[in-house]
């Protein structure tokens, strides 16, 4: 008898919670725009901006779901499970489409080329450039800069054998050109050590002096916190990483009824955000001002209000 009861309870629980689970998988509503959140503040802030604007100017609701790694998020957009994500033309080219800056034909910009390829291969495309260029940049803490008199990446060549370089894992993969091995070859850098470290621990390692030189995203607020100085990419090794909203091309048709103006609403963000503004916003959420950290939502709201986009 007791077993039967236990079984019934289990069955009841299963039935009760199954809808909760399956609800996670349904993104086909034509009144909900779905975004999978990013792992970094920059993406989260942009996603909040999209939510605020779209919910203000259209009849859609925007659902921001749990974060996932960018390639994963991109796959969801391609599959139509998610509608858009914040991304970068350089990321789309190298990480998502597995192409390389050298594949870009002469006379065509990376942005135009990648858009053409993405639409053809995956039915995705980038909207207008937001204005940020979150490219990779080689950076070092102030005391290293002073000690070795560094200004450009080329300046590193002379002293590299005394310095430890470390960066996150994806900078070390062998495919693609904006990576560690091509970089040290291009600039002829013979670092004492070149180590892979988790991005979450990179800044601690720099603060504790374990790492002398690293690669960072230009718009990361943590650069300011760690007092990192960006070295000029004097021979233009790194491609641009222009921030832009990446959409599944079907969404405008899909939401035509509820949001005929969706594209215009999203394009309002085009050209609005400078690198400095983005650094300030990510700094406010990650590090905080006077110990008070802000949220991506608050930063997005403040920014849009200042620009007069949010009433």
Partner 1 sequence: MSRFFSLYGEKILISIAQHFLYVVSAVAMAFVIAIVLGVLLSRKPSWANVLLPILSIFQTIPGIVFIGVLFIYNGMATSTVVIALTIYAIFPILKNTYVGLVDVDPALIEAAKGCGMTNFQTIQKVELPLAMPVIFSGLKMSTVYTVSWATLAAMIGMGSLGELIYSGIYSNNNTLILAGAIPAAIMAIFLSWIVDKIKDAVLPRSLKE
Partner 2 sequence: MTIDMITTHLLLVFFSVLLTIIFGVPLGVVAYIFPKARKIILKVVEVLQTVPALALLGVIMVFLGPDRATVIIGLFAYSLLPVVLNTYTGLVEVDPAVKEAAKGIGMTKINRLFLVELPLALPLIFSGVRLAIVTSVGVAVFGAFVGGGGLGSVIYESIRVSNMKLLLQSTAVLIVMAVGFDFVMSKIEKQMNKKLTGNSVD
288 binds partner 1 (CB under 8 A): no
Chosen from partner 1, partner 2, none, partner binding at 289 (C-beta under 5 to 8 Å by type): none
Binding mask 208-247 for partner 2 (x = CB under 8 A): --------------x-------------------------
According to DSSP, the residues that pair with 65 across neighbouring strands are 36
Does the footprint of partner 1 cover residue 168 (CB under 8 A)? yes
Answer yes or no: are the C-beta atoms of 266 and 60 closer than 8 Å: no
Identify what 168 binds: partner 1, partner 2, none; CB under 5 to 8 Å per kind: partner 1
- CA nearest to 307, candidates 128, 40, 53, 86: 53
At 53, is the secondary structure helix, strand, or coil? helix
Q: Which is nearer to partner 1, 57 or 89 (CB)?
A: 89
Number of residues that bind partner 1 (CB under 8 A): 24
Select from 248, 252, 206 the least CA-distant residue to 227: 206
| Bridge partners (DSSP) listed for residue 215 | 138
Strands 242-248 and 124-133: antiparallel
CB atoms within 10 A of CB 123: 14
For partner 1, the closer CB: 167 or 300: 167
Altogether, the residues listed in the chain come to a count of: 311
The yes or no reply on residue 21 touching partner 2 (CB under 8 A) is: yes
Question: Rule CB under 8 A: is residue 145 a binding residue for partner 2?
Answer: no
Question: What's the closest the beta carbon of residue 83 comes to partner 1, in angstroms?
Answer: 20
Contact call for residues 41 and 286 (beta carbons, < 8 A): yes
> What is the C-alpha separation between 110 and 211, in angstroms, rounded?
32
Q: Which residues in this chain contact partner 2 in the complex, by CB under 8 A?
A: 3, 10, 13-14, 17, 20-21, 24-25, 36, 39, 66-69, 72-73, 75-76, 79, 199-201, 203-204, 222, 286-287
Q: Which residues in this chain contact partner 1 in the complex, by CB under 8 A?
A: 69, 71, 95-96, 166, 168-170, 172-176, 195-198, 200-201, 204-205, 208, 210-211
């Amino acid at each position: 008898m007791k077993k039967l009861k236990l079984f019934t309870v289990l069955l009841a629980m299963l039935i009760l919670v199954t809808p909760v689970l399956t609800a996670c998988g349904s993104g086909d509503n034509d009144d909900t725009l779905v975004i999978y959140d990013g792992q970094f503040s920059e993406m989260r802030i942009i996603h909040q901006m999209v939510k605020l604007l779209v919910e203000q100017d259209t009849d859609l609701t925007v659902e921001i779901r749990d974060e996932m790694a960018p390639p994963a998020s991109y796959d969801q957009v391609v599959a139509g499970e998610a509608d858009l994500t914040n991304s970068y033309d350089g990321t789309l080219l190298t990480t998502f489409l597995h192409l390389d800056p050298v594949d870009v034909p002469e006379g065509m910009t990376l942005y135009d080329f990648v858009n053409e390829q993405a639409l053809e291969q995956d039915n995705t495309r980038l909207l207008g450039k937001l204005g940020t260029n979150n490219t990779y940049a080689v950076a070092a803490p102030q005391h290293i800069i002073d000690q070795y008199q560094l200004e450009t990446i080329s300046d590193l060549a002379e002293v590299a054998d005394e310095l430890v370089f470390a960066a996150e894992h994806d900078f070390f993969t062998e495919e693609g050109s904006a990576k560690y091995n091509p970089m040290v070859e291009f600039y002829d850098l013979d670092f004492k050590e070149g180590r892979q470290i988790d991005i979450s621990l990179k800044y601690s390692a720099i603060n504790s002096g374990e790492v002398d030189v690293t690669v960072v995203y230009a718009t990361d607020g943590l650069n300011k916190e760690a007092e990192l100085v960006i070295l000029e990419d004097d021979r233009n090794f790194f491609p641009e990483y222009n921030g832009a909203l990446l959409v599944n091309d079907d969404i405008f048709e899909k939401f035509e009824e509820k949001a005929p103006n969706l594209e215009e609403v999203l394009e309002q963000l085009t050209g609005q955000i400078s690198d400095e503004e983005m650094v300030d916003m990510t700094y406010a959420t990650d590090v905080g001002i006077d110990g008070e950290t802000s949220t991506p939502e608050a930063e997005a709201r403040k920014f849009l209000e200042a620009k007069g986009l949010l009433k």
